[in-house]
A and B are shown apart, each in its own frame.
Chain A
Amino acid sequence: MIEIRDLHKYFGDLHVLKGIDLDVQKGEVLSIIGASGSGKSTLLYCINALEPIQKGRVVVDGTDVHAKGTDINRLRQKLGMVFQQWNSFPHLTALENVALAPRIVKGKPKAEARDIASEQLRRVGLSDKINVYPSALSGGQQQRLAIARALAMEPEYMLFDEATSALDPELVGEVLDTMRLLAEEGMTMICVTHEMGFARDVSDRIAYFHQGVMEEIGPPQQLFGNPHSENTRKFLAKVR
């Protein structure tokens, strides 16, 4: 379970997150929507300590992520993350991209790491691309590669930071399908997204962020059908 309590984040004088309180249960799929600059991506970076926080707490399965004694590298193995830009390692083949972290972080033998990598590439539909370098893959394929790379660490949570925003429209579907598949398998997911259809279909809950505040959170039917907040209403009217 991920527990976020009174989380505040500043970039210099800019107050990006203004006291976020949020719980994500095991097996839940939470989508976070909101305008650009509302702090939703920053929240994901704070969950796995890629960004430091100034106040509050993020607790993952009882471990305070930002506490001094926390072994953050170990904790991050639980928290797979997929970024807007897929960030594949360009010097490694698809298989090596996925096998690298299991090998060097988890210390798996080379053959086992490769087996894990093949399995994850198969899971995201890239079995035929294992020996291909990322430069020869389409954006959608590279994003699926990034998903496989994160899954190879056998994470308990997956954080998706606008995983489809940088893709050409015709490639969005294949990545969303992969994410849907994961959700169906019961993966705990926090998805920052602009894909309202995906958020509506897949999420257990949707949170709307507005200027660093979690304005509203609720099941998709409620949030889309009967939003309580005026800001949510305005935002949804714009994106629909």
Chain B
Amino acid sequence: MEPSVVFFSGLTASDVWFLTEAAFRTLLISVLSISMGTAIGIFCGWLLYEGKIFATLTLAPILDVFRSVPLIIQLVLFYNMAPILGLNLDPFASGTVILTIYTAALVANVARGGFEAVGLPIRRAARSLGMTYFQDLRYVVLPIGGRAVFPAWIGVALGVMKDSALVSVLGYVELLKASQILITRTQQPFVVLAIAGAFYFALSYPVSRYAAKLEKRWAQ
């Protein structure tokens, strides 16, 4: 018998399906956390940009904590402390909460950079046309600033998607946790991790390709 056949024999088609389902869970928790975290992060970035002293003194240190403490520590602490606060959250909910806050903390600074990228002269031009503060924000600042920091945001989003693997420590069966389960059973870490890696790549690559395409179009 060929050695390679022996090498793959432990894995079945249902295992690959198991990994596919886990990849969907990775996708689910990532999409939820990134979208909510981005929305909160843009709001925080706006507070940092506009609130000046108040936000610098209050919000900025809080965001710094979430940016500085390793994600795995945040996850374990929150998951174990949530019941003390009267919250009975399953691993998925806990992971989503922490990933969302973590994303928001990262996006806040990116967003602030975006707001700052739109110069005062262009905002004055918008206001001189009779736009309200929020019309200026919605139709001028967000599109222009958003494009300026879009590559940085994509970096954050792809990073958070990969970091979502850490939610596995809470027992949420996403890609990494599913891989660990399979490795334990099959004792074939190389193949299983290669497949898991391929799934991560398959999730990330289209996003970065699409982002590159968008950037190219905007550059015209």
A-side residues, CB < 8 A to B, are 45, 48, 50, 73-74, 76-77, 79-81, 83, 85, 87, 89-91, 100-101, 104-106, 133, 135, 146, 149-150, 153
Residue of B nearest to A75 (CB): B130
Is the beta-carbon distance between A105 and B131 smaller than 8 angstroms? Answer: yes
Count contacts on B: residues with CB < 8 A to the other chain. 19
Residues of B within 8 A of A81 (CB): 125, 128
Is the beta-carbon distance between A73 and B125 smaller than 8 angstroms? Answer: no
For B132, B139, B143, B144, the residue with the greatest tally of chain A CB atoms inside 10 Å of its CB is B139
Is the beta-carbon distance between B122 and A105 smaller than 8 angstroms? Answer: no
A50 to B122, CA, bound (A): 12
Residues of B within 8 A of A91 (CB): 143-144, 147, 218
A88 to B36, CA, bound (A): 32
Is the beta-carbon distance between B121 and A83 smaller than 8 angstroms? Answer: yes
Which single member of B122, B128, B139, B144 contacts A79 (CB below 8 Å)?
B128
Residues of B within 8 A of A85 (CB): 121
Could you list 19 examples of A-B contacts with CB < 8 Å?
Answer: A45-B124, A50-B128, A73-B127, A76-B129, A85-B121, A87-B121, A89-B144, A91-B143, A91-B144, A91-B147, A100-B129, A104-B139, A105-B130, A105-B135, A106-B130, A133-B220, A135-B220, A146-B125, A149-B129
A90 to B128, CA, bound (A): 17
Which single member of B125, B218, B220 contacts A83 (CB below 8 Å)?
B125
Residues of B within 8 A of A135 (CB): 220
Residues of A within 8 A of B139 (CB): 100, 104
Residues of B within 8 A of A133 (CB): 220
Is the beta-carbon distance between B220 and A74 smaller than 8 angstroms? Answer: no
A90 to B122, CA, bound (A): 10
Asked, given contacts A83-B124, A91-B147, A100-B139, whether A74 binds B129 with beta carbons under 8 Å apart, the answer is no
B-side residues, CB < 8 A to A, are 121-122, 124-132, 135, 139-140, 143-144, 147, 218, 220
Is the beta-carbon distance between A101 and B131 smaller than 8 angstroms? Answer: yes
Count of A-B contacts judged by CB separation below 8 Å: 60
Residues of B within 8 A of A83 (CB): 121, 124-125, 128
Residues of B within 8 A of A104 (CB): 131, 135, 139
Is the beta-carbon distance between B135 and A76 smaller than 8 angstroms? Answer: no
Tell me, rounded to whole Å, the shortest Cβ–Cβ distance linking B50 to chain A.
Answer: 17
Is the beta-carbon distance between B147 and A76 smaller than 8 angstroms? Answer: no
Is the beta-carbon distance between B122 and A89 smaller than 8 angstroms? Answer: yes
Asked, given contacts A77-B130, A104-B131, whether A87 binds B125 with beta carbons under 8 Å apart, the answer is yes
Which single member of B124, B132, B140 contacts A50 (CB below 8 Å)?
B124
Pairs of residues from A and B, 3 with the lowest C-beta to C-beta distance, nearest first: A87-B125, A101-B129, A77-B130
A146 to B124, CA, bound (A): 13
Residues of B within 8 A of A105 (CB): 129-131, 135
Residue of B nearest to A149 (CB): B129
A87 to B141, CA, bound (A): 13
Residues of B within 8 A of A48 (CB): 128
Beyond known contacts A76-B128, A83-B128, A89-B144: 6 more, CB 8 A cutoff: A77-B129, A81-B125, A83-B121, A105-B131, A106-B130, A133-B220
Residue of B nearest to A79 (CB): B128
Is the beta-carbon distance between A101 and B125 smaller than 8 angstroms? Answer: no
Tell me, rounded to whole Å, the shortest Cβ–Cβ distance linking B177 to chain A.
Answer: 42
Residue of A nearest to B220 (CB): A133
A132 to B184, CA, bound (A): 59
Residue of B nearest to A48 (CB): B128
Tell me, rounded to whole Å, the shortest Cβ–Cβ distance linking B127 to chain A.
Answer: 7
A90 to B130, CA, bound (A): 19
Which single member of A45, A73, A100, A106 contacts B132 (CB below 8 Å)?
A73
Residue of B nearest to A87 (CB): B125
Tell me, rounded to whole Å, the shortest Cβ–Cβ distance linking A86 to chain B.
Answer: 8
Tell me, rounded to whole Å, the shortest Cβ–Cβ distance linking A37 to chain B.
Answer: 18
Residues of A within 8 A of B125 (CB): 81, 83, 87, 146
Asked, given contacts A91-B143, A133-B220, whether A76 binds B127 with beta carbons under 8 Å apart, the answer is yes
Tell me, rounded to whole Å, the shortest Cβ–Cβ distance linking A163 to chain B.
Answer: 12
Residues of B within 8 A of A77 (CB): 129-130
Residues of B within 8 A of A100 (CB): 129, 139
A52 to B131, CA, bound (A): 17
